[in-house]
Chain A
Amino acid sequence: MTKKAPKGRPKPKTTFKRYFDSAKPENNDLEAVKPLKRKSQQNFVGDFIKMQNKIKKEKPRKASIKPKPKGKLKEETEEEAQAKRNPIPQELLDKYSRGEKVEAKGVKTRHFKEQQTRREKYLEYAVEQAARTELLLHETAGQLEADEGEVTAEYRQGQIADNVDLQSAAKHFSLNMEFGPYHMRYTKNGRHLLLGGRRGHIAAFDWVTKKLHCEFNAMESIEDVQWLHVNTMFAVAQKSWVYFYDNKGTELHCVKRLARVNRLDFLPYHFLLAAGNTAGYASWLDVSIGELVGNFQTNLGDIRIMRHNPSNGVLCIGGGKGVVSMWSPKVREPLAKLLCHSTAMSALAVDPRGQHLVTAGLDRAVKVWDVRNLVQDKPLAHFQLRLPANELDVSQRGMLALSQGTYLETYADMLSGGGTGNYEKLPYLRQRCDAFVHGLRFCPYEDVLGVSTAKGFQSLLVPGSGEPNFDAMEANPYETSKQRREHEVHALLEKIPPELITLNPHEITGVDAPTLQEKIDAKRKLFHLKPPKINMKSRHKMKGKGGSANAARNKQIVKDLKRKEFIAEVREAKKSVIKEHTAKEDGAVAKTKKPKPSVLDRFKPKPPKKQKT
C-alpha cells in the first residue's frame, strides 16, 4: 500500500508554514516579536526586520481569521509608516549595491530555490542598511562657486586661501628647494608627504602640522620615491639601486635586485612594491617577505610612465608607441594592451575608483578610457590641448589635473557622468607655477593638489577634489601609532596573494564556468584523441598454469579489447557532436531556404505530385 506514490505533489489547501518563517507567535498571550533586538540577540546576524516585513504583509489575512489585540496592530502600522517616511533613494541603493540580483528561476530543487531567495533577501537588507549609514557621515564635500559674470578659472590661489577658514588656508603653502626636479608622494591616508629631489634631497614630513620626520641628502641621484604601507617606511629609487629608509632617515635595506629603477609604485593590499627600470624590466617586490614575486622583461624599453590601477592592482605601463599595457606579476604577457595614441605617450593616470584611465600623448591629446570595458575602440572622451600634458592625476571625486610644462589646469566634471566628455571646455582652476612641473598628486581625503616642480613643492587648494568622509578601517588621517601598528598587523594578515591580481577583481567570487572557447576546444580535442596506453599486469599464476607466452597473449587480447572499446566510445562521441552541429545547420538552412514567394515562381518546374495509395 505504501508503494503507491501519488503523482506530483498535491497542493495543500492551507499554506503550511516552515519553521523559519513562523517567527510570529500563534498565541495571543505570547509576546510579539520586538522590533529591536534584545541584548542577547544582538549578535544574531540574520535579518530580523526583513522577516518581520514579510510576515506583516500576511497580517491582515490572519487577522480576519483570528482577531488580534489592537495595540500590536497599531504598533506595526506605525513601523510601516516610518519606513514610508524615510525611503531610501534609488541612486543611493545603486551606489551600495554589489550587482544585480540572482533570480531563483533557474534553480532546480525547491530547497535551493528557497535558499537562494532567502540569501537575496539578506543581501538586499545589507544594501539597505549600508545605504542608511550615509546619514551618519559627518562631512560634506568642498565646493567652489563663481559669482555672476565670473568663472572659477579666474580665481587665483591667494583669493581662495583668503576666503576659506584658517585651517584650510594653512594647507596652501609652497616650498622652495634647490635640489631640483622633485618627485613627491602622499601616504594612503593623505597625512604625510615625501619629497625626493633629483640631486639627492629626501624629505619626509607631516604636511598638515608641518612637522618634519627626516631630511637628508642621499648623495646620489634620485629617480623616484614611494611610501610603503605605513608612514614609517619609504622606498627611494636611487642611481643604481632601490633603498628603504625609515622615517628617521635610517637606511633599512638596499635592494640590489631592483637596479636602475625609474618608477616606483606600491600596492597596499598586496604589499607589493612595483618598479619599472631603464632596461624595461617590471619587478614586484613583496615588502613583507622581501622577495621578488615577479621580475621580467616587458620589452617596452625605458619605463617612465607607470601607475597601478587601485581597483584591481594591475600595473599600467605606458610605452613609447602610444600603447598602455597592463601587467600582473604572475603573468609574463600583458593582460591587456590598449592603443591610446598614435604618438609616444607622455602621462597616464587611473582614477581611484578604477573606472577610468586617462592618457596623454605627444600628439597633445588627452583621452579618457573605460578600464572595465577594454574592447571599446573609442575613448569615452577625447580633447586636444595646445601643448602635450606631461603629468596627469585624478582625484577621489573624479577631478582631473594636468600640467603642460609650467602651466597647470584642473577639470571638475571630466569624469563625472561616466566620463562621456560632456564637460565644460573651461578648466575648473588653473595655475602657473614658477618652474617645470615634475609631479602631480591629489592628496587623499583633502581638497589639496600637491605639485612638485623643478624648484620645489607647492600645495594648491582645489575645493571639491577629495573624499570628505574617510573610513578609519581603511585609511585614517588621525591614527595614533598604536592604531597604525594594529592596522599593520591586520593588513598583513589580509595580504592578497599576487596570483589574485587579474583584470576583473571579482573573478574570485564568480563561478568557474567553462568559457565558450574552452567548450569549443574540448570538442575539437575529441577528434585528435589517441587511445590510452594500457599498463596491464597479468595476475600471478601458479606453476604449470601457463607460461609467459600465454600471459603475453592474454595481455594482447585485453589490450585489443580495451582499444576497441575506446575507439567505439570516441566514435559515438564524435557522432553526437557532428549530429548536433549538422542539426543546427540544417535548421538554419531550412529557415533561410524558404524564400519569399515571388511573381516569377510560376515559371519554376512544379514538384511532382504525390500519389495517393
Chain B
Amino acid sequence: MKVKMISRNPDNYVRETKLEHHKMARNYDPALHPLEGPREYVRALNATKLDRVFAKPFVCNLSGHRDGVSCFGKHPKQLSQLATGAYDGEVRIWDLANRTSSRHFVAHDGFVRGVAYAPDGKLIYTVGDDKTIKVWKADAPDVGEEEEPVNTILSRYGLHGISHNRKGNSFATCGEVCAVWDEKHNDPIKTLKWGVDTLHTISYNPVETDILACCASDRSIILYDQREAQPLRKIVLTMKSNKLSWNPMEAFNFTVANEDCNLYTFDTRKLQTPLKVHFDHVSAVTDVDYSPTGKEFVSASYDKTVRIYNAHHSHSRDIYHTKRMQHVVCVAWSLDNRYVFSGSDEMNVRMWKANASEKLGVIRPRERVNFNYQEALKQKYAAHPQIKRIARHRQVPRHVMNAQRKMRLVKDKEQVKEANVRKHSKKGKVPYVSEKKKHVIKEEV
C-alpha cells in the first residue's frame, strides 16, 4: 500500500527565536474563509466608526495678527511657508513646521487686499487699500536691516486683488479695472474693463496661463485673455460672487463662492448653466480654494464654518468649526494636499487636516496597508444605511442648525407656493426650472 498523511514539520510554522516575526501560513482558498460578506460588512462598519472616532481635524492655531486676517499667499515651492495679510496692513510669514511666525512687516496703510508669490518663490507681491503694489523679498532681511519693499508701484486705481501668472513673469491686479503688469515695468501692460463696477477678485488660470477670471460687484464673473484687447465673456448670477478658484487639474472648470450661501462650479465652455451647485452653507460664502488634486475644494463662510466639498458633489463632505472661530474670511488648501488653512475675523489662522481622521506622523507600511484596506471597505459598503448614517453624521453648531432649519422652511414654502401658482394657471405657463438654471441670469459675449 502507498500511504501518505499530513505531517507538518513545526519548523516551517514556528519561529526559531523571539527576534523573528511569527510565521503566518496563508491559504486564500475561499472555503477556509466562510461568511466573507458579513465579516467584511462588520469590518467596514468598524472602519467607519473608527473614522469618526479619530476625526480630530484641528491641528493648530497660528496667532500673532493684531487684526482680522484678510488673505493668504501660498508659497509655490515650500510647503512650510505661508504668507497672510491682515486688515491692519500687516503681512506675516509663517513657518508652518514650527508653527511660528517667522517674519512680519507692515506692508500697507489700511487692508492688505492680496498676497501672491512669484512662481519661483523669491518675491512676494502685496496689494492694499493704499493703491500700491509692493514687492518684497521672500527671504527675511539680515539682522539689523529694515524690512523694505524691493519695489513699490503706485496704481492709479484702487486695488482689490492680485494674482501671479504661474508660468510667465506677468501678474494681474483688479480693482476698478483689470490690469496686467509685467514684473519689470511700473506701468500696466494692459488694462481691461467691462462695465463700471469694481472687480474684487482675480485669478489666473493655472494651465492656460493667459486666461484670467474676475468677479465683479455687479454680480458678474468676467473671463479675460491677457493677449486680447477685449474681455472674453461675462455671466451674471443672481447674487455677487466673492471669490473664484480654478480647478488645477481640470483647468477648464472653476468654482465661485457666492453671496447666496452656495458655490457654483462652471465649465468655461458652457457658462449658461453651472456644472454643479454646492449647497450646505447657511451664510455668504467668502472664499474657496481647490486641492492640488482638483478633486475637492474647501470653502469658508460668514457662518463661521469651513466646509470641504467633492468637486462633483453638491453637498459637503465635511464641516470644520470651533467655538472661537468667527466669520471665516479666507481659506487655502496646502500644496501637499494634507492641510487646510483658514483665516478668520478674530485674528487667528487655523490649520486643519484635509482629511479629518488621517493619522499624522510616520506611518509604517503595515499600517498603511491597513488604512488602504479600511478605505476600500468603506467605499464598498458605503451604500448600506447604517454605514451611510454614521459616515454622514456631523455635529454642527446650534446657530448653523437653526439657520439650516429656517432655510429649509423657506425653501419648502417657496415650493408650495410655486406648486399652487402652477395649479391655478394655464398649463405650461409656470415652467419647471431646475435648480442649476435658476442662478445664472445671463451670459454676455
Which of chain B's residues has its CB closest to A267's CB? Answer: B35
B binding-site residues for A, Cβ under 8 Å: 1-8, 10, 12-14, 22-43, 46, 270-272, 365, 368-369, 372-373, 376, 384, 443, 445
Contact among B1, B14, B369 for A163, CB-based, below 8 A: B1
From known contacts A43-B372, A508-B37, A508-B41, infer whether A163 and B3 are also in contact, taking CB-CB under 8 Å.
yes
CB of A150 within 8 Å of the partner chain? yes
The answer to whether B42 touches A497 (Cβ under 8 A) is yes
Interface window among A164-172, A231-239, A253-261, A542-550:
A164-172
Contact flag A139-B46 (CB < 8 Å), given A43-B368, A312-B35, A474-B33: no
- Does A478 belong to the interface (CB within 8 Å)? yes
Within 8 A of B (CB), among A67-118: 95-96, 98
In the complex, the answer to whether A138 meets B12 with C-beta atoms within 8 Å is: yes
Complex interface: chain B residues within 8 A of A43 (CB) = 365, 368-369, 372
CB neighbours (8 Å) of B23 from chain A are: 472
B9 → chain A closest CB, angstroms: 9
Cβ–Cβ contact A144 & B28, under 8 A: no
Extra inter-chain contacts (20) besides given A164-B4, A165-B7, A508-B41, CB under 8 Å: A2-B270, A43-B368, A43-B369, A45-B376, A95-B30, A98-B36, A142-B5, A150-B1, A164-B7, A167-B7, A311-B34, A396-B31, A463-B5, A468-B6, A469-B29, A474-B33, A478-B10, A494-B43, A508-B38, A509-B40
B6 A447 Cβ-Cβ under 8 A = yes
**How far, in angstroms, from A233 to B2 measured CA to CA in the complex?**
40
* Contact A145 B2, beta carbon cutoff 8 Å: yes
Q: In the complex, what distance in Å separates the CA atom of A353 from the CA atom of B6? A: 20
A590 within 8 A of B: no
Chain B residues within 8 Å of A155, by CB: 1
Residue in A159, A168, A445, A469 whose CB lies within 8 Å of B1? A159
Any B CB within 8 A of the CB of A470 = yes
Looking at A130, A313, A478, the one whose CB has the most chain B CB atoms below 10 A away is: A478
Check if B13 sits within 8 Å of A469, measured CB to CB: no
User: Are B37 and A506 neighbours in the complex by a CB distance under 8 Å?
Assistant: yes
Bound form: Cα–Cα A507–B22 in Å: 35
Please give, as numbers and ranges, the residues of chain A lying within 8 Å of B8 by CB-CB distance: 138-139, 477
**A133-B28, A480-B22, A495-B42 known; A311-B6 Cβ under 8 A:** no
Is there a chain B Cβ closer than 8 Å to A269's Cβ? yes
Say how far B57's CB is from chain A's closest CB, in angstroms.
23
Give the contacting residue for A269; candidates B2, B39, B46, B271; CB below 8 A: B39
The answer to whether A471 touches B372, judged by C-beta atoms less than 8 angstroms apart, is no
Is A143 among interface residues, defined by CB-CB distance under 8 A? yes
Tell me if A311 and B33 are in contact (CB < 8 A).
no
- The complex places the Cα of A384 from the Cα of B36 at a distance, in Å, of 37
Knowing A142-B4, A145-B2, A500-B41, the reply to whether A269 touches B27 (Cβ < 8 A) is no
Contact partners of B36 in chain A: CB under 8 A:
98, 505-506
Tier of interface size on chain A: 35 or more
Q: Give complex CA distance A471, B13 in Å.
A: 11
A413 to B36, CA, bound (A): 27
Q: Scan residues 369-419 of chain A and give those whose CB is less than 8 A from a CB of chain B.
A: 396
Of the A-B pairs whose beta carbons lie under 8 Å apart in the complex, a sample of 25, sorted by A's number, is A2-B272, A2-B445, A45-B376, A136-B26, A137-B27, A142-B4, A142-B5, A142-B6, A143-B2, A146-B1, A160-B3, A164-B3, A165-B7, A168-B6, A168-B7, A269-B35, A311-B34, A445-B6, A447-B5, A467-B27, A467-B32, A471-B26, A471-B27, A478-B13, A496-B42
Tell whether, in the assembled complex, residue A470 and residue B27 are in contact, meaning their CB atoms are under 8 Å apart.
yes
Closest 10 CB pairs between A and B?
A145-B2, A168-B5, A472-B24, A142-B5, A43-B368, A509-B37, A469-B27, A471-B27, A478-B13, A500-B38
Residues 122-141 of A, flagged 1 when their CB comes within 8 A of B and 0 if not, give 00000000100100111111
A1 to B270, CA, bound (A): 11
Whether a CB of chain B sits under 8 angstroms from the CB of A250 is: no
Contacts A45-B372, A478-B10 given; does A471 touch B28 at CB 8 Å: yes
Pairwise interchain contact A313-B443, C-beta atoms closer than 8 A:
no
Q: Whose C-beta in chain B lies nearest to the C-beta of A145?
A: B2
Complex alpha-carbon distance, A42 and B372, angstroms: 11
- Give bound CA distance, A398 to B3, whole Å: 19
What are the interface flags for A6-27 relative to B under an 8 Å C-beta threshold, 1 for contact and 0 otherwise?
0000000000000000000000
Task: Name the CB-closest residue of B to A132.
Answer: B28
Q: Which residues of B contact A480 (CB under 8 A)?
A: 22
Please determine whether B34 and A310 come into contact, CB atoms closer than 8 angstroms: yes
Complexed CA–CA distance, A168 and B37 (Å): 37
Q: Which of A296-317 contact B (CB under 8 A)?
A: 310-313
Report the minimal beta-carbon distance from A440 to chain B, rounded to whole angstroms.
Answer: 19
Smallest CB–CB gap between A398 and chain B, Å? Answer: 10
Beyond A42-B365, A43-B369, whether A139 also contacts B2 by CB under 8 A is no
- Among B22, B29, B38, B372, the residue within 8 A (CB) of A483 is B22
Q: B6 touching A473 by the CB < 8 A rule?
A: no
Assess whether A224 is interfacial by the CB under 8 Å rule. Answer: no
Are B443 and A2 interface neighbours, CB within 8 A? yes
State whether A133 touches B26 (Cβ < 8 A). Answer: yes
Distance from B31 Cβ to chain A, minimum over Cβ atoms (Å): 5
- How far in angstroms is the closest Cβ of chain A from B48? 13
- The answer on a CB contact under 8 Å between A269 and B34 is yes
Residues of B within 8 A of A421 (CB): none
Known pairs A470-B27, A471-B27; A505 contacts B5 (CB<8 A): no
Q: A130-B28, A133-B26, A168-B7 are in contact. Are A144 and B1 (CB under 8 A)?
A: yes
Whether A357 sits at the interface, judged by CB under 8 Å, is no
